Amino acid sequence: MDDIALTVNGRRRLLEGITAHTTALEWLRLSGLTGSKEGCAEGECGACAVMVAAPDERGRTAWTAVNACLVPVGAMSGQEIVTAEGLGSPDQLHPVQEKLAAAGGSQCGYCSPGFACSMAAEYYREDRAPLEHPEVSAAHGPNGFDLHALGGNLCRCTGYRPIRDAAYALGSPEPSDELAARRQSPAPAPLPTDFEAAGGRFVRPATLPDALVLLRENPSARPVAGSTDVGVEMNLHGRRDPLLVAIEQLEELRALTISDSTIEIGAALALSDVERRLDGRVPLLAELLPQFASRLIRNRATLGGNLGTGSPIGDAAPALLALGARVVLVSVDTEREVDLAEYFTGYRQTVRRSDELILGIRIPLPLARVSAFHKISKRRFDDISSVAVGFAVDIEDGIITAARIGLGGVAATPIRAFATEDALIDRPWNVATVRSAAEVLGNEGAPLSDQRASAAYRALMLNRALLKLHSATLLESRDVSA
């Protein structure tokens, strides 16, 4: 393990005494870098946030904030990170730290290092610029700072206004700023990694074929991409897989290609990258992604991981079902394509074999003309959905010619609302049709009562979702005609 190392705050450090399941946060704190804190251990509070030098689309460095409590530190081998200690010192504060202090943005200080790292990542965003009309966006300050960058950071005592004021007071990095200058250099290339310690083995294969051979030879191996789900299981449930296989840096799993007939999204491409590279090209995903957890999570979470868990409450599945997506599965010998509606077979069970990886998700073109994503949850952002609905509808001359509806949180698996689709197709897009189909939609699946919502509430939300979609299309048509 002597050659396994990463760069922290400009200094190369050996990864000594770690196991396959040691998180980056654990290792940092054991190494004396105690600025990063553990608050929730599941990626919801941001107290553990650090900055990582990640590649942008040009191959240069983009400083990206991530949850250190979820990432196995073995996955950081060869990488470069900056913690709150690396931003500044008591004698020479970083501009972000200086503005937080001046605005009264820290009291107990527990969450402050994470806020500083998330804020610094946004501070160093290259396309951030002062807005000509800052009043048009409630989320952006006059300096172009996007407050959603702090969406995964929670403060329990200061209150958010001083923190917002600090963010909006930031200028642009000075020419002498080393972290700003670092953006012009390539991000560190991922290094193949293989080590074994008490409790398990961690491997980052050099190539996709290597990864597939490893999975075929080790049926109990656990593929890990963003680790936003695996990390929670390790921290809160003590999960210890005998073999973790890191796949998030495999080039074939990070592509995004658009042809005349399909959009294919690599299974290991981080959701923030998906959002940025699609740039609104798929309106349904453009609605979904800002509601998917927080920016800190989206900076590592992937579509492949969200589908790979087989969770019935994953936010991506309802939208992808509505889009008619297909899952591309690859093994040593074969590549196959499965309709997402046939991919889930039971609670957290799918058709993917243990020797297969999700290579990508294919979305057929053209897209439906009317689409929407409805997420019902206790919080507007950064919350698990009680019910999630994806709609994709085509309407020609007032008649519904096609409809796809994906549902999450109402059955043991994400499902297509086939009965509701049948109740819509070839009928006029009017209140009578919608009310009739809404009654069908309210009975789709077999919703349960749990801590998030009762079965009756879920059924009611399904019923109301279609009525809400119809009302929205009427408003849009009136706006266009006006």
**Residue 171 clears pLDDT 80, i.e. is over it:** yes
Both 406 and 329 in one domain: the answer is no
Question: How many H helices and E strands in the chain?
Answer: 16, 20
Q: In what order do the strands lie in the sheet with 222-224?
A: 193-197, 200-204, 243-246, 222-224
The 10s digit of each residue's pLDDT in 143-153 is 999 999 999 99
The 10s digit of each residue's pLDDT in 421-472 is 999 999 999 999 999 999 999 999 888 788 888 999 999 999 999 999 999 9
Give the total number of structural domains in the chain: 3
Confirm whether 350 is domain-assigned. Answer: yes
Both 391 and 281 in one domain: the answer is no
The residue from 345, 364, 383 where one domain ends is 364
Beta bridge partners of 404: 392
Confirm whether 70 is domain-assigned. Answer: yes
Confidence of residue 478 (pLDDT cuts 50, 70, 90): low
The 10s digit of each residue's pLDDT in 173-200 is 999 999 999 999 999 988 999 999 988 9
- 161, exposed or middle or buried, with CB in 10 Å at 0-12, 13-18, 19+? exposed
Which positions ≥6 away from 17 have C-beta within 8 Å?
Answer: 30
Query: What single letter denotes the amino acid at residue 329?
Result: L
Both 378 and 359 in one domain: the answer is no
Confirm whether 200 is domain-assigned. Answer: no
The residue from 344, 364, 384 where one domain ends is 364
Both 125 and 26 in one domain: the answer is yes
Domain range spanning residue 128? Answer: 1-188
Indicate which CATH number applies to the domain containing 35. Answer: 3.10.20.30
pLDDT at 477: 61
Distance (Å, rounded) from C-alpha 286 to C-alpha 255?
18
Both 124 and 98 in one domain: the answer is yes
CB 322 within 8 A of CB 392: yes
The residue from 188, 212, 235 where one domain ends is 188
Confirm whether 161 is domain-assigned. Answer: yes
Both 46 and 183 in one domain: the answer is yes
Mean pLDDT within 144-169: 93
CB atoms within 10 A of CB 397: 7
The 10s digit of each residue's pLDDT in 105-149 is 998 889 999 999 999 999 999 988 887 665 546 688 989 999 999
Indicate which CATH number applies to the domain containing 411. Answer: 3.30.390.50
Task: Supply the DSSP symbol for 262.
Answer: E
Tell which residue, 183, 163, 66, has the closest CA to residue 105.
163
Confirm whether 183 is domain-assigned. Answer: yes
Both 332 and 396 in one domain: the answer is no
Distance (Å, rounded) from C-alpha 141 to C-alpha 215?
47
Mean pLDDT of the chain: 94
Q: What's the CA angle centered on 274, arms 179 and 122, to 5 degrees?
A: 30
Beta bridge partners of 412: none
Confirm whether 199 is domain-assigned. Answer: no
Both 180 and 132 in one domain: the answer is yes
Q: Model-level pTM?
A: 0.95
Indicate which CATH number applies to the domain containing 258. Answer: 3.30.465.10
Tell which residue, 473, 350, 323, has the closest CA to residue 406.
323
pLDDT at 482: 42
CB 453 within 8 A of CB 387: yes
Confirm whether 235 is domain-assigned. Answer: no
- List the structure tokens of 3: 């050659």
Both 256 and 394 in one domain: the answer is no
Both 295 and 423 in one domain: the answer is no
Both 101 and 2 in one domain: the answer is yes
Both 360 and 380 in one domain: the answer is no
Confirm whether 195 is domain-assigned. Answer: no
